[in-house]
Structure 1
Amino acid sequence: MIRSSVQAPGAVVMVRPHHFTVNTETAADNAFQAVVTAKDGEEAEYARRAYAEHSRAVEVLREHGVRVHVFEGEDPTTPDCVFPNNWFSTHAGGHVAVYPMKAKNRRLERRQDILEMLKSEYRVQDIIDYSGLEPDGLFLEGTGAMVLDHINRVAYAVASDRTNPVALERFCTHFNFEPMVFEAQDGQGTSVYHTNVLMCIGTGFAMIGSGMIADPARRAEVLARLGETGRNVIDLTEAQIAGFAGNAIELMGSEGPILALSQAAFEVLTPEQRSRIEAHAKLVPLEIPTIEMAGGSVRCTIAGIHLASRG
């Protein structure tokens, strides 16, 4: 029996990439992407490695008792299909959201078969589709754009082209979240493209690169809000954020909560930080270095299922 948690889902959706490559349409505002000039034959090798990394990550999560619904990403026109958390999210009470995406080729990632699976395997009451906002240039890229505190109903969001305030306000009104928006940038002044590379919220802890929040007063407000929840707040350095330490997700395994993160993220955490996390969740590093070249890490590859199972 898969245990459930308001914050840490025991089931997830993952899309295994068959044609992985670094998406040139998203490179302009994603400083986390690698600059790749593939020579003849190398693209096929990247795709092979990404497929293998993803397959192994699924195995490891299943070994820890997470229910993983794997879909095959066989469409060569969707290089970022491995990151499904951007186009849909699920919520307690049977609610699903579908999101407007900035890059045109990312809009092709939306899949009816995934939504149908959710309806057949879980209790879905409604699906609210915001993708009609795309022609108006209003984007909100799911749980990449927002890091959701499901317990305290706060949607943390870095201001960017991928997080439109109108779309965010509509989501928060429909799903009963309070928006908390802030500017964040790296040491070169480049804006952070997605909130989920900057911070992670678990049941009893949170990790955040607070030093990258531009306005000191707003930084204090964000930290205070996280602190008010009683969570153990772990501050991450900019270097740790660059190593994807913030791009992690708490899941519910068969023996309790786990924190799924990449091996690269695990390695940039200090022993003291790991110890603080492990007071709340077991660390489960997944090796996905090829996939990380696309500018996202473990959190981006996982769409949590916060729905009641029909089984």
Structure 2
Amino acid sequence: MLTRDTATFLDHARRIDTDFGPATARAAFMVAPDGFRLAEQSAADNRYMAEAGSFDAARASAQHRELQRAFAEVIPTICFAGDPATPDALFPNNVFATAAGRYVVGRMRHPVRQREAARDDIRGFFGGVLDYAEIDLSTQPHPCELTGALVIDRARGLGFAGLSERCDEEGARLMHEALGLRATLLFDLAEGEYHTNVVLAVLAGRAALVCTKGFADPKVVDTIAALYAPHAVLLSPAEHAAFAGNAIALSDDVVWMSAHAGRSLTATSREALAAAGFQVRTVELDAIEAGGGSLRCCVGEIY
């Protein structure tokens, strides 16, 4: 099912069992922020990006390394070298995604990011080392920036596809089919939003962080909240602005977000996450956040 109808989606999703696959990834991959700097093309439709003078490549590299060390305490986490010709490559989840036995290469909107899809080392790792089948969407014309545009409930096989200049309806359909999802809800992001994973996180299939102002239609927020009740955490505009929605669960009991996001959490949000069985762990990522993304954007999941 691929639909914009929130009532139809909710009715269908409520009847789906949590037997699609593991709720969290078995490993993670990252790409080092080598040559980290302002990418003018990406800045054109990413209001979260800082001015060029705010980029500190050395600090971003140190923070990225610390993030990998933290993740490695939970799951195996590998890091590929960066490339100064692709300054946004530290956000690899937009370009590469996996499902059981396959990997998908996305179609990026901006040429500076389309270069990332051609990396032979990452393709070789998935195809040659892991022996995953390849589904290459990078050469077709419809933008589909994978798990930036598409937030996935891996336990149920559900997708939440926010449409913007980074993902159109056909791109959403291609991702839905490539990842073999059972049902995907299509909706428009609010004006000024570029990726769904900045405004929504589904945590281990049983909870959701929802930035209410990130959705054009409040009915979509109501639908997601109803599906994950009583563990739908509706975030305030301040939490949203601090990237609290750009979070991830890599295990059943921990939600990861940047230190800035963690500091923004209200007592109510923390209590709601605790009630859902999650502790909050954070890593300082202020230099990386200058690039317009935060912790979730740095993580490619391996299923």
**Same fold per superposition (TM over 0.5):** yes
> Shift of the alpha carbon at 1:95?
1.6
Which of residues 21, 24, 28 is equivalent to 1:12? 28
Whether 1:56 aligns to 2:60 is no
2:105 maps to 98
> Shift of the alpha carbon at 1:223?
2.8
Contact 2:98 2:179 in 1 (8 A): no
Tell me the SS of whatever aligns to 2:250. Answer: strand
CA gap of 1:18–1:218, structure 2 versus 1, over 3 A, is: closer
The residue type equivalent to 1:180 in the other structure is L
Tell me the SS of whatever aligns to 2:246. Answer: coil
1:79 maps to 87
CA gap of 1:182–1:28, structure 2 versus 1, over 3 A, is: same
Contact 2:254 2:279 in 1 (8 A): yes
Contact 1:17 1:50 in 2 (8 A): yes
In structure 2, distance between residues paired with 1:122 and 1:281: 31
Contact 1:158 1:192 in 2 (8 A): no
1:143 maps to 147
Q: Number of residues paired by the alignment?
A: 279
Calculate percent identity across the aligned residue pairs. Answer: 30
Contact 2:211 2:237 in 1 (8 A): yes
Tell me the SS of whatever aligns to 1:100. Answer: coil
> Shift of the alpha carbon at 1:263?
0.2
Instruction: Give the gaps of 5 or more residues in structure 2.
Output: 1-20
Contact 1:250 1:260 in 2 (8 A): yes
> Shift of the alpha carbon at 1:7?
2.2
2:217 maps to 215
> Shift of the alpha carbon at 1:216?
3.1
2:256 maps to 260
Which string of whole-angstrom CA distances, capped at 9 and with x for unpartnered residues, describes residues 74-97 of structure 1? x211110110000010112x1211
Which string of whole-angstrom CA distances, capped at 9 and with x for unpartnered residues, describes residues 132-164 of structure 1? 11xx3x101110011011122221122101111
Contact 1:8 1:257 in 2 (8 A): no
Whether 1:272 aligns to 2:282 is no
Tell me the SS of whatever aligns to 1:171. Answer: helix
Contact 1:243 1:264 in 2 (8 A): yes
Whether 1:181 aligns to 2:149 is no
Which of residues 205, 224, 227 is equivalent to 2:226? 224
> Shift of the alpha carbon at 1:123?
5.1
Which of residues 172, 177, 191 is equivalent to 2:176? 172
1:24 maps to 40
The residue type equivalent to 2:61 in the other structure is Y
The residue type equivalent to 1:31 in the other structure is R
RMSD in angstroms over aligned alpha carbons? 1.9
The residue type equivalent to 1:102 in the other structure is R
Which string of whole-angstrom CA distances, capped at 9 and with x for unpartnered residues, describes residues 226-264 of structure 1? 44xxx6110011221110000011103xxx532221001
In structure 1, distance between residues paired with 2:116 and 2:256: 23
2:116 maps to 109
CA gap of 1:80–1:296, structure 2 versus 1, over 3 A, is: same
> Shift of the alpha carbon at 1:23?
1.4
Contact 2:212 2:218 in 1 (8 A): no
TM-score (norm 2): 0.86
Contact 1:18 1:48 in 2 (8 A): no
TM-score (norm 1): 0.84
